[in-house]
């Protein structure tokens, strides 16, 4: 997407050498989006939060927080690589599969081992102190599947049986979903398949309709574990057809693999409480609204929290008139039965591909002298919703605001959309064409002319036949990297991208005339069953830079007691996008998320330069960066082992983003005394 920046960096170098700071200010690089504040400590950390890293999000609530304090703001500059493990993930893989891969895994620390999955679903257990391999399991995922969402595995999950009934082999289990839609159970001590689970250690998720190709349907995120039940969603290719696979969530018995319950976000009968939000026939013909990101678990309440996506297809809703609840929602289910307890919809009748992309954050917020259990949800639109965990009602105020109308013929848009009142969007949703970015007058004018000819009325401007500014673009705002939470400061830490795109719908004709794209190389999709063809692309200048004003990636700290953005910082440089390593602090799109420590540090990779960074939690100031051998498009984690704190990140890049590919798991720590 942003790899065309390479073509223009020589211009940037020339400006830096010959233009001086006056030119940088003239083209908009003299400042950034920074809000300067501090996040003071307001409360002690509740018991049970930050004790180890036993789930993909640190814990099942998604805090991404550790109590480890050995690494501090004062000594973080001394961090060094302690060990590196190379998985060999690309060995014997065809180049076509490698070019469809992304290393997005975050390890967990269980049963004395650091356990993670590779791009191709191998599960590997390491010694946490040395990185020495203890065991590995290869599920032999097929090659040539052309997965719609790449060969990737974001994480594995851990289940431990009770001492009385579960002893010996597979008393503790590792669960993983695969690119070919299997849910696999492994012995946490040895990596051997648990033969009593499903069919010889695996159950297969069966899509609701026949697939067009094997990679149309897959599992990319770590399963959820509540009691003795394992729950998984699915990842489904977008915009192919209206009658697409349904986004059914499946729950299985952790011991036997027997199906316990299913939940379909699209109502399947008139008896469903939200069936009135759909036309009677549309729900039967509509697919997706799947849960492709990470599910959260509240063990005490017996609840699981689903982040659901948009119904099919993403950009036209004439076949699914209505608000389309439970799509684009946080849905709280009873973990034992799959029954809906409550739901909150972040986008009504989505025609922007604004899935709920991130793990719902189950946090304890200190307000008015006492703790409150909340759900904090970041979105692709750059918004942050904070809800009461028991009811789904707003904890911080939310209002319905009138949004643009006049969608394409055949669609009926929602007249309003929900907006948080206290927290403004973390990234902008519109810009004046005169503010379009460019390093030359020619480049800037080309961007301005393109933007001027697009329909642009702010967030939720509907897709159109003339072309609509999609800002933020379909990658966010926020995405699957999710957020981290410092419970001692009420501080939500989130990274978001600030890139614009366009989307255009073209009426289908019997002749099937080819599209003349707004920008060369745009993605097109047939949206079979809809009367339009979709076209979209990142909005780049002729020389390859984003047309949206920088910074193109931000890191922000938000006080969840009142919604205030405490600080906001530019995140990422052109270091690995520029010949000769020219490092300009423009920010970059970000893929991955943050982790926070009790000592007051934020660790994050995610940017399109090959670094793991540390920021000060109170101020957002960058304190350190460590060089990675490949792209760090993953979420780091941290733990203490035998008296030493480690910070670990997968460094293997993201093929679609154009970052450097690899097979490295890298651990940083302070030098041994």
Q: What is the dihedral of CA 418, 424, 429, 433, to 10 degrees?
A: 140
Using pLDDT thresholds of 50, 70 and 90, give the confidence band for residue 29: very low
Beta-carbon contacts of residue 201 (< 8 Å; ≥ 6 apart): 184, 185, 186, 193, 194, 195
H helix or E strand, kind and range, residue 451: helix 441-452
What's the rounded Cα separation, in Å, for the pair 387 and 220? 27
* Cβ(48)–Cβ(42) below 8 Å: no
596-622 tens-digit pLDDT = 999 999 999 999 999 999 999 999 999
Domain range for 323 is 3-669
Q: CA 663 from chain center: how many Å?
A: 21
**CA count, 13 A, side-chain hemisphere, 458:** 7
Question: Can you spell out the DSSP letters for 77-136?
Answer: GG-EEEEEEE--TTTT--HHHHTTBB-----EEETTEEEEE-TT--EEEE-TTT--EEEE
436-483 tens-digit pLDDT = 998 889 889 999 999 999 999 999 999 999 999 999 999 999 999 999
| Average pLDDT of every residue of the chain | 90
Which tokens is 669 given?
Answer: 């720590």
97-138 tens-digit pLDDT = 999 999 999 999 999 999 999 999 999 999 999 999 999 999
Which tokens is 107 given?
Answer: 């390890």
Backbone torsion region of residue 546, taken as left when φ is above 0, otherwise alpha when ψ lies between -120 and 50, otherwise beta: beta
- DSSP conformation class of 28: T
548-591 tens-digit pLDDT = 999 999 999 999 999 999 999 999 998 887 666 778 899 999 99
Residue 235's nearest CA partner among 152, 291, 315, 175 is: 291
CATH of the domain at 310: 2.140.10.10
State how many domains the chain has.
1
What's the rounded Cα separation, in Å, for the pair 359 and 317? 25
Q: Report the 10 Å Cβ neighbour count for 146.
A: 15
Q: Report the 10 Å Cβ neighbour count for 420.
A: 18
> Which of 10-24, 152-166, 293-307 bottoms out in mean pLDDT, i.e. has the lowest?
10-24
pLDDT at 283: 62
What are the counts of helices (DSSP H) followed by strands (DSSP E) for the chain? 5, 40
Which tokens is 318 given?
Answer: 């004439």
* Residues designated as active site: 353
How far, CA to CA in Å, does 507 sit from each of 138, 400, 405, 532, 562?
A: 46, 31, 19, 4, 46
């Amino acid at each position: 997407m942003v790899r065309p920046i390479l073509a223009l960096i020589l211009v940037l170098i020339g400006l830096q050498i010959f233009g001086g700071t006056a030119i940088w200010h003239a083209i908009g690089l003299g400042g950034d989006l920074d809000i300067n504040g501090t996040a003071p400590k307001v409360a002690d950390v509740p018991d049970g939060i930050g004790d180890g890293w036993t789930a993909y999000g640190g814990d099942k609530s998604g805090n991404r927080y550790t109590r480890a304090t050995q690494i501090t703001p004062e000594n973080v500059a001394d961090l060094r690589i302690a060990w590196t493990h190379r998985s060999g993930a690309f060995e014997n893989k065809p180049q076509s599969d490698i070019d469809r891969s992304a290393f997005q895994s975050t390890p967990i620390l269980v049963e004395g081992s650091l356990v993670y999955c590779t791009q191709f679903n191998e599960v590997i257990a390491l010694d946490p102190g040395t990185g020495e391999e203890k065991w590995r399991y290869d599920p032999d995922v097929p090659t040539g599947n052309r997965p719609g969402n790449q060969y990737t595995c974001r994480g594995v999950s851990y289940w431990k049986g009770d001492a009385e009934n579960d002893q010996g082999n597979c008393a503790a289990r590792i669960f993983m979903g695969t690119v070919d839609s299997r849910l696999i159970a492994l012995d946490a001590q040895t990596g051997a398949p648990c033969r009593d689970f499903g069919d010889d250690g695996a159950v297969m998720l069966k899509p609701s309709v026949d697939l067009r190709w094997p990679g149309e349907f897959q599992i990319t995120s770590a399963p959820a574990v509540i009691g003795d039940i394992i729950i998984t969603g699915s990842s489904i290719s977008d915009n192919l057809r209206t009658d697409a696979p349904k986004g059914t969530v499946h729950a299985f018995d952790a011991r036997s693999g027997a199906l316990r319950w299913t939940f379909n976000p699209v109502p399947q009968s008139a008896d469903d409480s939200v069936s009135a939000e759909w036309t009677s026939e549309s729900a039967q013909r509509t697919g997706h609204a799947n849960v492709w990101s990470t599910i959260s678990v509240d063990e005490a309440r017996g609840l699981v929290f689903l982040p659901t996506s948009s119904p099919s297809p993403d950009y036209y809703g004439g076949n699914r008139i209505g608000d389309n609840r439970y799509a684009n929602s946080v849905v709280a289910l009873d973990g034992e039965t799959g029954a809906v307890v409550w739901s909150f919809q972040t986008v009504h009748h989505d025609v922007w591909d604004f899935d709920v992309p991130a793990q719902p954050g189950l946090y304890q917020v200190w307000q008015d002298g006492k703790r409150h259990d909340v759900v904090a949800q970041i979105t692709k639109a750059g918004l942050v919703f904070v809800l009461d965990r028991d009811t789904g009602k707003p904890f911080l105020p939310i209002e319905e605001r009138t949004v643009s109308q006049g969608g394409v013929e055949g669609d009926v848009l929602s007249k309003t959309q929900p907006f948080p009142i206290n927290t403004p969007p973390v990234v902008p949703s519109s810009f004046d064409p005169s503010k379009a970015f460019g390093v030359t007058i020619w480049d800037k004018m080309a961007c301005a002319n393109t933007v001027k000819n697009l329909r642009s009325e702010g967030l939720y401007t509907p897709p159109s036949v003339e072309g609509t500014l999609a800002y933020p673009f379909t990658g966010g705002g926020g995405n699957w990297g999710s957020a981290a939470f410092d419970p001692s400061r009420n501080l939500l830490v989130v990274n978001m991208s600030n890139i614009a795109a366009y989307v255009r719908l073209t009426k289908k004709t019997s002749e099937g005339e080819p599209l003349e794209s707004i920008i060369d190389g745009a993605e097109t999709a047939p949206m079979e069953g809809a009367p339009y063809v979709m076209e979209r692309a990142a909005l780049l200048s002729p020389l390859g830079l984003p047309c949206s004003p920088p910074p193109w990636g931000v890191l922000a700290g938000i006080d969840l007691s009142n919604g205030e953005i405490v600080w906001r910082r530019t995140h990422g440089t052109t270091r690995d996008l520029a010949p000769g390593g020219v490092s300009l602090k423009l920010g970059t799109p970000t893929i991955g998320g943050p982790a926070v420590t009790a000592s007051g540090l934020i660790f994050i990779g995610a940017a399109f330069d090959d670094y793991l960074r540390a920021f000060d939690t109170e101020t957002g100031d960058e304190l350190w960066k460590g060089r990675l051998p490949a792209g760090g498009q993953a979420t780091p984690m941290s733990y203490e082992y035998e008296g030493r704190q480690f910070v670990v990140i997968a460094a293997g890049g993201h093929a679609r983003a154009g970052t450097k590919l690899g097979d490295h798991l890298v651990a940083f720590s302070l030098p041994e005394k």
